[in-house]
Structure 1
Amino acid sequence: MEHLTLNTGAKIPLVGLGTWDLRDETCVSLVSEAIRLGYRLIDTAQMYDNEKEVGQGIAQTNVDRDDLFITTKLDSRSNGYKQALEGISRSLDNLNLDYVDLLLVHEPYSNDLAMYEALSEAYHDGKVKAIGISNYNQKRFEQFLKNVDIIPAVNQVECHLQFQKWVLQQKLKEHGTIMQAWSPLSQGKLGFEKQPEFLQLSEKYKKSPAQIVLRFLTQRGISVIPKTRRIECLEENMSIFDFQLLPEEMNLLKSLDKDTTLFSWTEY
Structure 2
Amino acid sequence: MQTVKLNNGIEMPQLGFGVFQVTDLKECEDAVLNALQAGYRLIDTAAAYQNEEAVGRAIKKSGVDRKDIFLTSKLWVSDANYDRAKKAIDTSLEKLDTDYLDLYLMHQPYGDVAGAWRAMSEAYKAGKIRAIGVSNFYADQVKNLELSSEVKPVLNQIEVSPWYQQIDEVKFNQDEDIQVEAWAPFAEGKHDIFTNETIASIAKKYGKKNGQVILRWLLQRGIVVIPKSVHRNRMEENMDVFDFELSDDDMKTMATLDKKESQFFDHRDPTTIEQIFGSSLAQLK
Band the TM-score falls in, shorter-chain normalisation:
over 0.9
Aligned-residue CA RMSD (Å): 1.1
CA distance in 2, matches of 1:142, 1:258: 26
CA distance in 2, matches of 1:21, 1:258: 24
CA distance in 1, matches of 2:194, 2:186: 10
Deviations 1:11-33 (A, max 9, x none): 11111111011121100011011
For residue 267 of structure 2, what is the amino acid of its counterpart?
A: T
For residue 18 of structure 1, what is the amino acid of its counterpart?
A: G
The answer on whether the counterparts of 1:159 and 1:183 sit within 8 Å (CA) in structure 2 is yes
Give the match for residue 192 of structure 1: 193
The answer on whether the counterparts of 2:157 and 2:181 sit within 8 Å (CA) in structure 1 is yes
Structure 2: runs of 5+ lacking an equivalent: 270-285
- Give 4+ residue runs of structure 1 displaced > 3 Å after superposition: none
Give the match for residue 280 of structure 2: none
Please tell me whether residue 239 in structure 1 is matched to residue 240 in structure 2: yes
CA distance in 2, matches of 1:251, 1:227: 26
Q: How many residues align?
A: 268
The answer on whether the counterparts of 1:151 and 1:175 sit within 8 Å (CA) in structure 2 is no
Give the match for residue 147 of structure 1: 148
Which runs of structure 2 are paired with 1:119-268 in the superposition (5 Å)? 119-264=120-265, 266-267=267-268
258-267 or 2-11, which deviates more: 258-267
For residue 234 of structure 1, what is the amino acid of its counterpart?
A: M
Percent identity between the aligned chains? 36
Which runs of structure 2 are paired with 1:46-125 in the superposition (5 Å)? 46-125=47-126
Deviations 1:10-69 (A, max 9, x none): 111111111011121100011011111100000000000000000011111111111110
CA distance in 2, matches of 1:174, 1:265: 24
Shift in Å at residue 184 of structure 1?
A: 0.5
The answer on whether the counterparts of 1:154 and 1:179 sit within 8 Å (CA) in structure 2 is yes
Shift in Å at residue 265 of structure 1?
A: 5.2
The answer on whether the counterparts of 1:31 and 1:58 sit within 8 Å (CA) in structure 2 is yes
For residue 187 of structure 1, what is the amino acid of its counterpart?
A: E
SS in 2 for 1:60: helix
CA distance in 2, matches of 1:267, 1:32: 36
Shift in Å at residue 173 of structure 1?
A: 1.5
CA distance in 2, matches of 1:44, 1:10: 19
TM-score w.r.t. structure 1 length?
0.97
CA distance in 1, matches of 2:268, 2:31: 31
Shift in Å at residue 212 of structure 1?
A: 0.4
Deviations 1:166-224 (A, max 9, x none): 21111112221000000001100121233322221121111110000010001100000
CA distance in 2, matches of 1:10, 1:100: 13
The answer on whether the counterparts of 1:151 and 1:176 sit within 8 Å (CA) in structure 2 is no
TM-score w.r.t. structure 2 length?
0.92
Give the match for residue 13 of structure 1: 13
CA distance in 2, matches of 1:194, 1:19: 24
CA distance in 2, matches of 1:46, 1:195: 34
The answer on whether the counterparts of 2:6 and 2:179 sit within 8 Å (CA) in structure 1 is yes
